[in-house]
Structure 1
């Protein structure tokens, strides 16, 4: 499949992957763009690059509903595990587009090429995660699109589309960091129910996501240092301005700290809300 892609540049390949509605092609294009960029076979930008879409390409299903309409099910049933895996697949799919959007949208920012290396690594791994979860759903007799999903993740991208520092605060340092908090307990529940295959998929995601938060923390601190801003205070200001809702405890302080996100960043925000 990789040879059929015409990729004009890193920004062009990332944009085309965001626009692609066929999810097999989307994930393959994201990974092929990343591979060519890592091999330094692509320029950063080209006049031939397409315009960024307002929303990422998606198939007709799943139906997108408000988060409050998402049904909660017990993980002790196959239907409940399918529902959880479907929700994770949706998160991972959005994470592919969010990583690509950081690259495509901010390709004119004065940052080193290693910034784009990091985010294309994230995009590559999120595409891998989506495929792994989708394959596990299929093994359980289901598929992505069978259940409704919510649309809150892309709204975070929209609200921070004009500010790279705010984007880094909200996407990797809130949304991805949340995965570090909740995934270990989900893994434990999967093991408890005997679903070791799903637990193994979650283990891969958890290990990779720690690296994604670390990439976010690294570049957030880089931008703060360049602007002579205190990282923890800046994070709190940007979250209050750009994130709807509150940060939910308990936090996986150890995993967050290993990724460069210390409690001084987020502890004071647990009751924050501008919704």
Structure 2
């Protein structure tokens, strides 16, 4: 990924304040109840007057299920000649999540619009199934926010210059979220996942693993590259390069005090505790 092109896109944002980017992982959207819970979190921010941009992964295990279907209909490993069609199939997981999230928000009285990656300004380069984000043009996101609409972006995908949809590597929704946050003026980015914070090791395997409240970008990158699965290493690298502030917490966390792990503390991230905005 060319960080220089993303940096250039950062300067396009001229909004009155930096929005809050909230990325929901697949586990946090795995059931209708969890989808509604995620939407309620976004709706609460929106009702407090916060501009929110949502990035979604496919619902829990949906991508694996689609890939199994692809193998079944191809009677084995799909040939490279149909890589374009495989990308189209796989991308529907995130698009389904985006549509359902926007629908849930609308049912709660919050205006929202589901967007494919390309519709959200995510431009990519590379081959099908291995795209890399070149830049994010936030023009449409800015326009929606100005109208009071919450953009809900399908992660893990973007559009090439030849207008083809191309997916990123697995876990690429994290990269989408950080790139979008960078393009919106290094907006704070929340990563909502199935663990309550970043740990030195998987707490489900090692109950005694150290839990982190605050990390530098460099520390987060080192943990991600060492195998911590709470944040994609590519997303950690991009956040480090562009100084995008992060907060990682569980979908079960309370709205007012989500806690979790703050990475690269910067200005207020829109989390409100007793009426006072907390830092990232």
TM-score by length of 1: 0.29
Q: Which has the higher helix share?
A: 1
Higher relative CO (Cα under 8 Å, sequence separation at least 6) belongs to 2
TM-score by length of 2: 0.29
Q: Which has the higher strand share?
A: 2
